[in-house]
Structure 1
Amino acid sequence: MKKLTLLRHAKSDWLDRSLRDFDRPLNARGLRGARAMGLYAAEKGMVFDAVVASPAVRVTETIDHFETAYGHTLNPDWDRRIYLASSVTLIDVLRGVPDTAGHVLMVGHNPGLEDLVFDLVADDGSSPLRDVVEEKFPTAALAVMDIAIDRWSDLDNRSAKLVEVTRPRDLDPDLGPQDDD
């Protein structure tokens, strides 16, 4: 059995239109959201054996603030393929994770992360949490899946059970949707 946790980068700043998309930093709400999710992961006792992440600035800053609140160093494997990747590419990245990793944290972007949930979790009515993701997988949200495989190379569609979805607004209403969402 493997466990996969997805973390969407926190809310980014769109004020400086001269920046490339890759270089956009987090805004103030994003910083708070990343810290809230890191604290939540620590309180839940989440332990990650491997971390794979997009090297985009908003992801690196999300990890920095998540890690500070989480209280443990994450040492991500920065993988450019995750930046704006499709679900197919994300599955390919995960298939390359060493089998010694029982619990993987993947930090990246939508729509890829959301689509990954849809591809890995069957749409058969057995997971009300899938409906939560379908409604919206907002910035800084976490999705945790149990996957009935022994080797990451065996990861395939419909192989996961979604066991948890946590959004920043679930932890602090001030981190919920704003007029700019």
Structure 2
Amino acid sequence: MSVAEPRRIVLFRHAKADWPQVTDHERPLAERGRLDAAEAGRRLADTGIPLDLALCSTSTRTRETWKLAVHEFPHRPKTSYEERIYDASPGELIALLNETPDDTGNAVLIGHNPGVQSLAEILVGAVEGDAGQRLARRGFPTAAFAVLTFEGSWKSLEPGTATLVDFWAPSE
């Protein structure tokens, strides 16, 4: 892929987790989370974005979310499970995204709040349509995703360089 072609990054928050007596990292999805993860996968597949790479936190709830969501895709992207996503700051997430190979056109990052929402807020320098209003109205609930575009290499992704083009969240 040429660095002149726009790239897309999907920021995807894990679905609703349960609260059993396990460590936070090992919390599984709740029943509602399993349903929302599959619905998010269908909605993301409907965007038609050909995802080349998935960067997924190693937590149980993010791995379960991704497994249910990607099942809805016509093409499964390469998936990399990254410990660095769990409890990461927006700066740490940007650093991780900057490591993405330039032959990757579109990527999805499956992670946690507050990191995912903060990352979206920091990266977005422009908004198309009503995506910003939807994000502002809903916040970034579980199983929500934001689609951002940017130009240049992955190394050039930094605060204010992306455009928010879509936002979706499950109904409450």
When the two structures are superposed, what TM-score results if normalisation uses the length of structure 1? 0.85
TM-superposed CA distance for 1:73, in Å, is 2.6
Q: Give 1:74 shift.
A: 3.3
Q: In structure 2, do the counterparts of structure 1 residues 146 and 125 end up closer, same or farther at CA, with 3 Å as the change threshold?
A: closer
Give the deviation of 1:114 after TM superposition.
0.4
- Report the structure, 1 or 2, having the larger strand content: 2
2:143 to 133, 140, 145: 140
Q: Aligned in 2, Cα 1:37/1:130: closer, same or farther, shift over 3 Å?
A: same
- Pick closer, same or farther for the CA change 1:95–1:32 going to 2, 3 Å: same
In structure 2, C-alpha distance between the alignment counterparts of 1:168 and 1:126, rounded to whole Å: 20
Q: Matched residues in 2 for 1:134 and 1:84: separation?
A: 23
1:70 is paired with a residue whose SS is: coil
Q: Cα gap change, 1:66/1:97 in structure 2, threshold over 3 Å: closer, same or farther?
A: same
Q: 1:48 to 1:8 in 2, by over 3 A?
A: same
Number of residues paired by the alignment?
166
Measured after TM superposition, the shift of residue 168 of structure 1 is 1.3
Cα distance in 1, alignment partners of residues 127 and 95 from structure 2: 26
1:144 alignment partner, SS class: strand
Q: Deviations over 1:129-164 (max 9, x none)?
A: 334334410000010001122x10111110000000
The whole-number CA distance in structure 1 between the counterparts of 2:89 and 2:133 is 20
The farther-off stretch of 44-53 and 85-94 is: 44-53
Equivalent residue, structure 2, for 1:84: 87
RMSD of aligned residue pairs (Cα, Å) = 1.7
Q: Which runs of 5+ in 1 are unaligned?
A: 170-175, 177-181
Identity %: 33
Partner of 1:165: 167
State whether structure 2 residue 22 is matched by structure 1 residue 19: yes
Residue 140 of structure 1 aligns with an amino acid whose one-letter code is A
Q: Once the two structures are superposed, what CA deviation does each residue of 1:30-86 show, in whole Å capped at 9, x if it has no partner?
A: 000010011122222221011111010000000111022224333311111100111
